[in-house]
A and B are shown apart, each in its own frame.
Chain A
């Protein structure tokens, strides 16, 4: 056992612990300082940043669903310039490990934003959002086509020295193909999954409950599907570091994603309901590792190892 049992390494990215927060569910981090010590997190993924400030979709933007919610915020954000000038210095002062999430309408938009980030200090990694289902251009269109994924990731790869994470769409026709395309084009890390396209209709008015029509489904409702997808990608692409996302709210959920093959996780919608949940999961995971005398690294991929599925003891060593 190492002296830092929570530390994880995802290719070129070393994190103090595997608990991070998912883009779009944690604002710019600064909204949570009353509830979480940002420095205690493995990292935080910012709201998706674009070249220009973006207004997002008209309301209603969210609606509750069984064990989760639909959203079509439409990537409202302050834009890259404001982020670098106003938000990033505060995040650095708070000791946060910042993962900048980036999106655009066109390939060149992604590249321009990533270039702008390249000169900034205090960014641990860049995460490409090629999987947002709530914008008319860009977003999921890149993620749902392996050739487009490959071309975009290659272009961005050439523009940054930083660890590059690509956030995959569960709405892609074949997630493993998309994952392979992103990896082969230069992604260091894959994060999965973004939200599932869903819809809710008001039975009285017969109108969609969200103005965009469809929205992205998140929350515990999607967890078993997300776990399955992480498991499949981990099996198909052994050795590619993964960040698992999908309905994580409890320590047992973290352990489940680690077992499926994720090296780190992103806590998403749970932060809306319980703004302190990410910090609490770090503490609970530390206590768990101490009690079990194990490391996080030792918990990764247990479901894939011979013996662990069949119930033989000692697989995690």
Chain B
């Protein structure tokens, strides 16, 4: 059940300037969160940011009682968390939203995880869940340049299949978009029981064109600016195919690409 939890910042790890993780002590949230869900993070006593921020839970350790977020410094919320002293108290509202589907996959199945930049955020926990289910995961991780892929270090040792890195400028891994790297392997005969993806909207639009003709089951973790995170403000809608708007926080954030109007 979702609740507003007190949490304490235990640790911050910097991967490169502006790319970091924060780990909080928050036992209840650590026990209740499933891969793909998110929390609304409130850094207290601030005029700005006024609203909470929605961040995917990157990983949760029920035994240690910790939850981790992978973040990129973009606006006031992430800047505040980049500077927040260790030991500080925050509030975490969660777990919110739906989760990635894992339970329907057969042992021995193979899936692809496609991440664009900070879109890698929800995947450490998913990789663990897939590994527990005996599912092999190929991890496609793309960014504009090598610096954007500094988070790859966070995934060392946790990917059970192939790691495919790509950069727009070719400074690391394959040159081009991560969706092109996936398309090349699919046309080379690779097959996946599911494609999990998280990244910017242009990446989703390109990926939808790759997975839909191939008839691949897909789950996209969408991003929208959220006011509340639990379906009250209706600020985070995404244009839909079955109805005008999908409420990203309460009906998502994990959505099938067929439901999204591109």
Contacts and interface: CB of A to CB of B under 8 A. Distances in A.
Nearest to A219: B50
A56 B227 contact: no
A64 B50 contact: yes
Given A61-B237, A275-B4, A69 B227 contact: yes
Contacts of A66: 47-48, 50
A55 B245 contact: yes
B235 A71 contact: yes
Interface string A35-54: 10000000000000000000
A76 B50 contact: no
A62 B227 contact: yes
Contact of A275 (B76, B93, B234): B93
B232 A62 contact: no
Contacts of B49: 64
Contacts of B224: 59
Interface stretch (A23-31, A111-119, A167-175, A250-258): A23-31
Nearest to A59: B237
A271 interface: yes
B232 A32 contact: yes
Given A56-B234, A58-B239, A64-B49, A272 B245 contact: no
Interface string B225-262: 10110111111111100011100001000000000000
Interface string B124-159: 000000000000000000000000000000000000
A73 interface: yes
Contacts of B107: none
A32 B244 CA distance: 24
B239 to A, nearest CB: 7
B4 A276 contact: yes
Contacts of A67: 47-48, 50
B4 A272 contact: no
A68 interface: yes
B184 interface: no
A66 B236 CA distance: 20
A63 interface: yes
A2 to B, nearest CB: 34
A273 interface: yes
Contact of B51 (A25, A55, A64, A76): A64
Nearest to B75: A64
A65 B225 CA distance: 13
Contact of A73 (B47, B93, B235): B235
A272 B234 contact: no
A34 B230 CA distance: 10
B110 interface: no
Nearest to A58: B239
A32 B232 CA distance: 8
Interface string A55-91: 1101111111111110101001000000000000000
Interface of B: 1-4, 42, 47-52, 76, 93, 224-225, 227-228, 230-239, 243-245, 250
Interface of A: 24-27, 31-32, 34-35, 55-56, 58-69, 71, 73, 76, 219-220, 271-276
Given A68-B50, A272-B228, A273-B51, 15 more contacts: A34-B2, A55-B245, A56-B237, A56-B245, A59-B238, A61-B234, A61-B235, A62-B225, A62-B233, A62-B236, A66-B50, A219-B50, A271-B228, A273-B52, A274-B42
